[in-house]
Amino acid sequence: MIRAAVAGATGYAGAELVRLLAGHSGVRLTMITSRQFAGQRFDRVFPAMAGRVDLVCEELNDARICEAADVVFTALPHKLPMNVAPEILKRGRKMVDLSADFRFNERRIYESVYQPHSSPDLLQASVYGLSEVYSAEIATARLVGNPGCYPTSVLLPLIPLIKGGLVDLDGIVADAKSGVSGAGRSPSLAVHYCEVNESFKAYKVAAHRHAPEMETVLSREARQPVQITFVPHLVPMTRGMLTTVYARPSGALTAETVQDCLTTFYAGRPFIRLRPPGAPPDTLHVRGTNFCDIGFVFDERNRRLVLMSAIDNLGKGAAGQAVQNMNLMFGLDETAGLDQIPCAL
């Protein structure tokens, strides 16, 4: 039985982690932390967990969390995980970080997007946790940087085609829409009900800090520099993410070629579901799950490939993928604790 702790358990991603780990047959949830709710029972903060999780939220303490757990999930704001990681790893524990602190192997790139890194020596040791692409590296990792939700939704449909040399690396455009929970639980005017209800808007156009994360991974897979235009949008729903990627073929291309590429690349990967022609992905069908549904249309008239993906931003985009990575790190079936039947509605 793996002992697991969640640092930052009362944010949206942290709470989803607690939910998934509490239902995982191979895991015993031993400690949860929350600065804001320290001393309060988790099921008082989230009444939906009544009768399932009665742990009391604690202040984060490095020594205590290492004593309590074999694996620590850090669902904390950027900059905090880099400060606790050295002690966790020094004590022989494993760590899955849901912030951006360990998504980059290069200090220069991380610091150009976020802030100075206090544990730069650990960046080379971290593995980017895109489960379906880097599963072999994740299986031997002690430290995994869980991908952002937007990058997950863009990279999963695009990487197979880039590795297969099927798309032109110039002029790629990614257009993504996210539910409001992607902004986190802390209140702010931008996510106030009156600001988002019956509203649909783009934000941080071509300036979102997830773009360098995507470009770093795409460049690694293409073995040459790749830049994309990324446009995120906020939609008035709680959870879910729909992404559309536009790319031009690198040469002769058919819908059959694209289908074969995606089918071959994701053969045997239980959380990737390829949608049939004429049935594009829908956020409704992945809500509360770790699935990524992928579809595409090859616009022959305009010689443009349109890739589409749907994920739950708190599931496959955060907590679900983090649990999947833990499963890989401990040699478990990657579906363990994540095999819930999706809701039909």
The set of catalytic residues is 149
The answer to whether the beta carbons of residues 15 and 46 sit under 8 Å apart is yes
Distance CA 118, CA 122 (A): 10
Cβ atoms 325, 146 nearer than 8 A: yes
Best CA proximity match to 28, nearest among 69, 65, 66, 78: 69
Q: Cα separations (Å) of 192 from 15, 41, 184, 196, 240?
A: 20, 27, 12, 6, 18
* Partner residues linked to 96 by β-bridges: 73, 144
Element (H, E) at 299: strand 292-299
Residue 320, beta-bridge partner list: none
Three-state SS at 324: helix
Q: Which H/E stretch holds residue 164?
A: none
Q: In whole angstroms, give the CA distance from residue 37 to residue 58.
A: 8
| Under 8 Å between Cβ of 334 and 320 | no
